[in-house]
Chains A and B, each alone.
Chain A
């Protein structure tokens, strides 16, 4: 059984980030394809412009420690990548009722991003080949971001 831990929960700048971390702790299995030691940032932005400028309203990082996940406020020192989310996307994501609905919605924010309704994006801080070896490709599929194949034809 995978476990989740939220560290320093009182250090978030925003309520939305706090709610999102609580939400994510329900589904540690989403992160189970990542090798132990994988660490990446979640950053919440209130506009595309703030994303372009690299100014999130809040951020936290998720470490896969082999037994589950640890969530800490702020960006990690050497994150593998950053998952960027618009505030509208986060507000809708935390209202989803199960893992499948969450993954589906997350995928739609990636595949059909919209400035008003919500969007997500990611920035890689390490080479794609290394990240694939760390399990991020499979993670992206489980999380609903990347489809394994083109299923709609």
Chain B
């Protein structure tokens, strides 16, 4: 796409053009950044709870547009209609009850050794935030980025994926229709990442770069930022000085989540949840259960149950309410699934089901049948030699499964990954559950949880290559900095008069 053009948004299943929209140019993008930056003070005229109430009311209004929004999510995102409800609910629930996040940014008075209370930690918005969203979530992540910034008082520019911007444009127009107070401090830009990211990195008005992307793209953004930093001829302590200030980078990246099934659970019930956790949205989810680790005592029986569940999944027209698997988001994903399965075949793996693609030869209507590949446990330990499917994120409906000899072995296999977003465990042994909680290397541990929770407590974040900075987190937490204030006035006022 050139730097000034119209953008055709196509239906991911039929290829029909849904709409043609005007894309931003570098000039219009810079204008938007400037306008949002200059309007940020509008947010500071309201306190946290006023902003929270505004978002809550907005979520109430959005419910009346649900059917229209769902249709857009299905058409431009390719998400099955039954899943589109979840995509909307997760963000609207968050907005509805967003004052809940106050607990993370509430003033914290601290008591000193002698009992004095001169110190308070306050949470201050960083400033203008530029957010980049992925194509697999046409509304939940971009709207959450916009809302979280609004909630804490940061201006925000959000760039939805150019593959599916219509749902977010509709969501933003609802903000306009409902006269969301302080709306000038928010905006969307419609532009491809290739040059939009550079504009964000170059802008001295932008304080935060927040992206949901692959780990490799996130690292590429850091490298690009490094290249943009210009040295001056001035030196400090013998080191050439840079003029540009630091920016805050927040990356939500890839997941290669392990899901452990122990030998003391109901296999049929867990297999049902496993199929949902692994293949919902065609497996195009960072938190999808991608590496399935099963205790050897139940391995064969569990595989039988799981394959049965996988083969029940219906793929096809995403508008059909019985369809579980919609079209893939891009040809690149189809190719990646193909490459991962072909690579796995070189390792003497066993394919239990799937491994077939449906390729229309176009950029729409692309499917990969839900696939389950057995990988021998001895191949999983050394990540330099492990199959591609085990070591990298399979962002599509292909999953690996392997056998663990014991609890320790299951933990070792689960931790054999460069990623650490979530880990899932199914077990009824209370002592073992405590060991899993302690030993699993992931930022979010789900024990015996239903998949696809929409509870407000659901956190983002990861460790290793899954997120930067590390840890489980909620967006509002990331968008503020802590300010330490020591006020010695009550103690020392007389001494300094």
Chain A contacts to B: CB under 8 angstroms:
48, 110-115, 119, 121, 124, 127-129, 132, 149-150, 152-153
Contact A150 B64 (CB under 8 A): no
Contact A153 B60 (CB under 8 A): no
Please judge, given known A-B contacts A150-B85, A150-B454, A152-B82, whether A113 and B63 are in contact too, CB under 8 Å. Answer: yes
Please judge, given known A-B contacts A128-B97, A149-B450, whether A115 and B64 are in contact too, CB under 8 Å. Answer: yes
Going nearest first, the 10 A-B pairs with the smallest beta carbon separation are: A128-B97, A128-B100, A149-B450, A150-B452, A150-B86, A121-B60, A113-B63, A128-B99, A127-B99, A113-B64
| B82 CB contact (under 8 Å) in A115, A132, A153 | A153
Does B129 belong to the interface (CB within 8 Å)? no
Q: Mask for B258-287, Cβ within 8 A of A = 1, else 0?
A: 000000000000000000100010000000
The count of chain B contact residues (Cβ–Cβ below 8 Å) is 24
For the complex, would chain B's binding face be called helix, strand, loop or mixed by DSSP majority?
helix
Contact B64 A153 (CB under 8 A): no
Please judge, given known A-B contacts A113-B63, A115-B64, A124-B56, whether A149 and B99 are in contact too, CB under 8 Å. Answer: no
A-B contact number at CB 8 A: 49
Give Cα distance in the complex from A44 to B100, angstroms: 27
Within 8 A of A (CB), among B26-50: none
What residues on A are CB-neighbors of B56 within 8 Å?
124
Within 8 A of A (CB), among B383-437: none
Q: Mask for B75-92, Cβ within 8 A of A = 1, else 0?
A: 000000011011001000
Please judge, given known A-B contacts A119-B64, A153-B276, whether A129 and B452 are in contact too, CB under 8 Å. Answer: no
Contact B86 A129 (CB under 8 A): no
What residues on B are CB-neighbors of A48 within 8 Å?
64
Give Cα distance in the complex from A30 to B415, angstroms: 45
Q: Min CB distance, A84 to chain B, in Å? A: 9
Can you list 28 A-B contacts (CB < 8 A)?
A: A48-B64, A110-B63, A111-B63, A111-B66, A113-B63, A119-B63, A119-B64, A121-B63, A124-B97, A127-B99, A127-B100, A128-B99, A128-B456, A129-B99, A129-B102, A132-B100, A149-B452, A150-B85, A150-B89, A150-B452, A150-B454, A152-B85, A153-B82, A153-B83, A153-B86, A153-B276, A153-B280, A153-B452
